Structure 1
């Protein structure tokens, strides 16, 4: 089986595209689609074991990829990784800033260290990746950057530290889109809503219960999204079809931010999920709740 992308074969032939957090979840799926479309994909992450697994998968599917173990919180490591990619590949045409993380906690319970750790990972790490990719290659050659944020509209109770960092990434995206336009660099964001990825299985019992009982019922389209639906949005923003798109955010969220609580979402209304990722699977916690399956 191969990736069932809706985009034209060979779309990114000859290009090198970096995907941070490429060892699992959305990053893994995106790396597979980009490789299937002809790109050489450079995946980064903290777990070499996970990166090696994805490399083996892409090779088995006749794609081209390489991997660098890199913690985006380490400025020197990021600078060295970008330099190594430029030296090895001679170019960086696209960057997908996907790496990040958070945990559920009320603001009153978040320690200063915990808050700073999430901001350092989600916001500062993204900034350093953007800056180094721009100054080491894209400033002179152009390119496209996609920053993955989240459904932060109206605040994010229970994840205030992540909402703050993702909101910062959004304004960072807008700023870079303006400042770097003269170099032919497009910078956009993509905000996933509830997506059925392996990340769902990292939540504790309370988080799992919230996903199953609270999150899905308030999605107007009455289902979670798929990894392939996120990847398709990323591919569009990287593609020539988005040549006049910069400084914007593509929401892929089933309409969730549009619900304000005053309207009872009726049953039904599901759209058919796009299941392009041939190696994708339904997270364990959704398998346990058939009503929440995509």
Structure 2
């Protein structure tokens, strides 16, 4: 496997001495976050259901001179989560940062989603995040403080047809985060959400949408799709001492995609108006 060289935007000692657990760190935004944190001096605990992708991420971290500990497990299984925390305690003796990145969903019209399918997505995205968060707090953070970052989606602010189940789950995560931030601040625990827009990762290939169509669907005002490193950089900022006075926040990493929630006069009235710099009353500037 080819090595991936990470050029961090942060100081190499930003997270020195800290231990960070990243769920879903075998690929995509989870892997990018683990690599970014390792480049900042953090020691990583890598968590996901499949061991092989985690081993690949661990090899990449070690090739950078970092330290990584592979902890396979399932966020949906309370016993699995508990076992992971005990392994991290035995291996590192501490946990300072938790990134709840693991999740998943499928495309389906709301009328076609079964109760079982809806429950499965809620368990994957909401209950799994809660179980990891509660366990990390119980084992480490109520005593020593810490930072928890949830990866959600911009659909918590908008609507995303075909994904009623995951929109409900992600909105639940956001509400959970804000409530816990208010309750747990006294313990020195900070909690925040990062909500990505359209991000170009291998996960896009799981949906029946041609790659070129994603570029058409992307509504970033910056003229490009986001990449995993865009999200990872924001997570590191919030999780590290750089974000030490930020808690209860929902940060959107979408290239301005949600700016299109309002009406766009370029589409509604006359597209050429904005190219020719004409005024709305018909008088030229």
TM-score by length of 2: 0.89
Please say if 1:183 is aligned against 2:187: yes
Coordinate RMSD, CA, aligned: 1.6
Gaps of 5+ in 1: 268-294
1:263 is aligned to 2:265: yes
Report which stretch shifted further, 239-248 or 53-62.
53-62
Q: 2:114 aligns with which of 92, 108, 111?
A: 111
Aligned residue in 2 for 1:155: 159
What are the Cα deviations for residues 6-45 of structure 1, in whole angstroms up to 9, with x where unaligned? 1111111111000000000000111111111111110100
Structure 1 residue 23 and structure 2 residue 50: aligned? no
Q: Deviation string for 1:153-172 (max 9, x for gaps)?
A: 12221111110000000000
Is the 2:150–2:194 Cα contact (8 Å) retained in structure 1?
Answer: yes
Query: Against the structure 1 CA distance between its residues 207 and 82, is the aligned structure 2 distance closer, same or farther, given a 3 Å change threshold?
Result: farther
- Which residue does the alignment assign to 1:245? 246
Instruction: Map 1:99-248; keep pairs closer than 5 Å.
Output: 99-152=102-155, 153-204=157-208, 206=209, 208=211, 210-213=213-216, 215-216=217-218, 218-248=219-249
Aligned: 1:254 with 2:258? no
Aligned to 1:292: none
1:12 aligns to what SS in structure 2? Answer: coil
Counterparts of 2:173 and 2:11, CA distance in 1:
30
Map of 2:98 onto structure 1: 95
Native 8 Å contact 1:104 1:207 kept in 2: no
Partners in 2 of 1:63 and 1:13 — Cα distance?
Answer: 11
Residues 215 and 225 of structure 2 are in contact (CA less than 8 Å); yes or no, is this contact kept in structure 1?
no
- Contact 1:17/1:39 (CA < 8 Å) preserved in 2? yes
Unaligned runs of 5+ in 2: 273-285
What TM-score comes out, normalization by structure 1 length?
0.86
CA distance in 2, matches of 1:145, 1:127: 11
